[in-house]
Amino acid sequence: METILLDGESLTFEQVIAVAYGTPGESRVSLSEDAQAKVMRAADAVDTLLDKGEIAYGITTGFGAFKDKIISREEVEQLQRNIVVSHAVGVGDPFDTATVRAIMLIRANTLARGFSGIRLETLQLILDCLNQGVHPIIPEKGSLGASGDLAPLAHFACVLIGEGKAEYNNEILSGIDALTKAGLQPVILKAKEGLALTNGTTVMTAVGLLETARSKRLAELADISGCLSLEALHGTLSAFDDRIHQLRPHPRQVECAKNLRNILAESEFVRDFDPTNVQDAYTLRCIPQVHGACRDAVAYAEWLLKIELNSVTDNPLIFQDDAGNIEVISGGNFHGEPLALAFDYLTIALAELGNISERRIMRLTDEASNAHVLPAFLTDHGGLNSGFMIVQYTAAALCTENKVLAHPASVDTIPSSANVEDHVSMGVTAVLKLRQVAENLANILALELFCAAQGIDFRRPQIGVEKNLGKGTYSIYHEIRERVPFIAADTYMKDHMENVLGIVNARIRPR
């Protein structure tokens, strides 16, 4: 069993993915000794502030527009419980288990830095739930992305106090019943803890990390699907020549061109120099420029999330010096603007990968566009057979949906909390749109691969049945043909499409 030690500073993408998609017991998450000491020191500082009767936001005051309401020592625990139960107002479908596990892990890591004032007992309960598979039911919608992801995180926190609902052993239970069946006890929240649990960018970070990891694999698969289409269309490698890309040396463009050359190495389906046909259409010729630019968006999101993953994003934060002086400082690290912008950027990039893929599908199915290399709609006896005609329709429909979803959420804001929280990020809205566009792109790439494999089989008699595909397209073509036959005449297409989508999803799942 792998042990992941949280210290608030060194959590990695790989660890989050392993915990998110793993089952309880495959790895164990614990706090480092240094983190334990920091957490206890911050919790002691909160107690000191209470003993001194000092005014501190969220500790001895209300929240948001109630920031000027002073709370007595006797009401502190009620205040923290109230913020959790009153904020649990999310709606929509619940997040899947992998996302919930990522949320739990990232939130625990944030609190492990020791600036939030949570007690070790409360933080340990989060880890116990994670390790034993008590998964809070967290609705997807309700966060404005500032003051963090309040509504969804409140649903997460409810389970820790025996409220809300949770999944345990594939059964949906009340929070208290889930804890009891797992042999755990709920906590009574002390000063600052309710706020520490609900205030921060954890939900958008968790969803964004998983979607960025998936987007990276979608971009890799887009290269492969583009190359299989190029082979089916008798395209040329000349536009991928490294000399071209060194004269416009955007790193991801250069990397993409190199990747395409590697994928198509040893292919006998590509076109040698032909003075009557010296260049391909943009959807083939400009793959490095388009796919490379989309990879830039993936790289930016990955860079940003690596920072966010080990950041402290709640408010207020508790600072102490070596002399024991304590200062509570209110700030805005909960604001999701950096993430919202990155997710909108990545959403646009994935929409573009879908757009260029759909245009390659059009070229595969349109006999005039592919210069009669392939028959109309990839079928013999056109007219009697519609072939792959409507496959392109579906891809076009998904692209149109993606174009709507690509409108940035981050340019919108609605003031909340009586205009105290007067600018918000809409970061969760941005990342949920990203997730849907990624789902659509997976389907579009599956449709392209479905069409391209059909095109390859039409080309084999033209060039020789034994001719080789590229080193990087050979395996996926044969994987498709193990599950999906050549479509000789019109048949029920949905099952075949689902089989190719299964291949795609297996390749793009973060791991």
Length of the chain (residues) = 511
Cα–Cα distance measured from residue 494 to residue 496, given in angstroms and rounded to the nearest whole number: 5
Q: Considering only CA atoms, which of 294, 290, 282, 288 is closest in space to residue 233?
A: 282
Largest CA distance in the chain: 87
Tokens 């899947």 appear where? 96
| Amino acid letter, 416 | S
Query: Do 346 and 215 touch, CB atoms closer than 8 A?
Result: yes
57 in active site? yes
CA distances from 27 to 102, 139, 506 (A): 13, 26, 22
Cα–Cα distance measured from residue 94 to residue 102, given in angstroms and rounded to the nearest whole number: 14
Tokens 């989060």 appear where? 126
Residue 238's CB: how many other CB atoms inside 10 A? 15
Q: Which of 57, 168, 393, 492 is catalytic?
A: 57
Q: How many helices (H) and strands (E) in the chain?
A: 18, 9
Q: Please provide residue 170's backbone torsions phi and psi, each rounded to the nearest 5 degrees.
A: 65, 25
Q: Considering only CA atoms, which of 59, 50, 42, 178 is closest in space to residue 120?
A: 42
Indicate the angle between helix axes 202-232 and 97-111, nearest 10 degrees: 130
Catalytic residues: 57
